[in-house]
Amino acid sequence: MTDYSIWVLEYSQITQMPRSAVVYGAHNKGTSKLPYCYVLLKGKGRTILLDVGYNNVDYGAYFHTAFGSSNWHGPDEVLGECGIRPEDVTDCIITHAHFDHMGGIALFPNATFYVQEKEITTWVSYMALPRQFRWLMGATDPGDIMRAVDLAKQGRLVLVKGPMEDVFPGIDLHPAYETHTPASQYIVIRNDGKRQSADAWVFAGDLVYQFENLDGGTPDDPYYVPVGLAAGSQANLVFTTHEMLGRVGHESRRVIPIHEEGLKDRFPSRQTKHDLRITEIALADGEKSLVK
């Protein structure tokens, strides 16, 4: 039995991301393509997104240019390839508050959003600091934090305090404090619904960018290499990587880094008419493939 269909949906990309940002210590090692993606889950009567991308307007458009992004498409087009409208999305789980993960809040008008409480409150505290501390805001749009507060006013924001099992059936949230951001979280999908699952997947947000963070580029003798971009501690990222792998029996292919271009080589995928990738991780019982 498989409860949820899972697709990784590319919506934009950086064609030349410095390797040192992706893999800690990879200085003068050139660049990599870095897809921007979110994850679509369908099952148990819900349509869920893991992260929501960014909206290419206002400060989101500034980040789009500043980071050298290209080929941005909104969720009407990206989800449209899956037969879904943005209005159909029931729930959004946010791994962290960087613009490319939380900047699309306004694009999903009927969804309830789930984010770690400490993630929101810490960014608010950073926003209150004097101007000389502005580096701390990094890739975070203050407008996104204010939009999250407005979600609370609308009754569409759930602030998660630490680990949360079965936020939806078979879906668990786990915080990773002081890692990539103050309170990033990763998502575990136990896709057979069992507490001791034989079909679990971890969606890591930006706790890992690429497979190399999981195995050091030497899968026969793996070691953990943290991402280069961290507001917290690289050591915390290493220990979190070990923790995430433990959730899936240390089967590294079950930890999904959504910025990994090589996902298409491990899972079925296809290019859309907008030259964006759909990667199919799992199909729920009775669900039709979107890539075949």
Strand 112-116 versus strand 157-160 pairing type:
parallel
pLDDT over 90 at 45, yes or no: yes
What is the per-residue pLDDT across 49-91, written as a single tens digit (0 to 9) for each? 999 999 999 999 999 999 999 999 999 999 999 999 999 999 9
- Identify the pLDDT of residue 256: 98
- Identify the pLDDT of residue 156: 98
pTM (two decimals): 0.97
| Mean pLDDT taken over the chain | 96
**For the chain, domain boundaries:** 5-282
Share above pLDDT 90 across residues of the chain, in percent, rounded to a whole number:
98
| Options 3.90.25.10, 3.60.15.10, 2.40.320.10, 3.30.70.1050; CATH of 5-282 | 3.60.15.10
- Identify the pLDDT of residue 168: 98
What is the per-residue pLDDT across 91-134, written as a single tens digit (0 to 9) for each? 999 999 999 999 999 999 999 999 999 999 999 999 999 999 99
What is the per-residue pLDDT across 133-151, written as a single tens digit (0 to 9) for each? 999 998 999 999 999 999 9
- Identify the pLDDT of residue 292: 87
- Identify the pLDDT of residue 289: 96
Cβ atoms within 10 Å, residue 285: 9
What is the per-residue pLDDT across 233-286, written as a single tens digit (0 to 9) for each? 999 999 999 999 999 999 999 999 999 999 999 999 999 999 999 999 999 999
Average pLDDT of the segment spanning 11-35: 93
Scanning the chain, the segments in alpha helix (DSSP H) are 19-22, 58-66, 75-80, 99-102, 117-127, 142-154, 211-215, 234-247, 263-266
Q: Which residue is associated with the tokens 């680990």?
A: 163
151: left (phi over 0), alpha (psi -120 to 50) or beta: alpha
CA distance 135 to 145: 16
What is the per-residue pLDDT across 186-216, written as a single tens digit (0 to 9) for each? 999 999 999 999 999 999 999 999 999 999 9
pLDDT over 90 at 1, yes or no: no
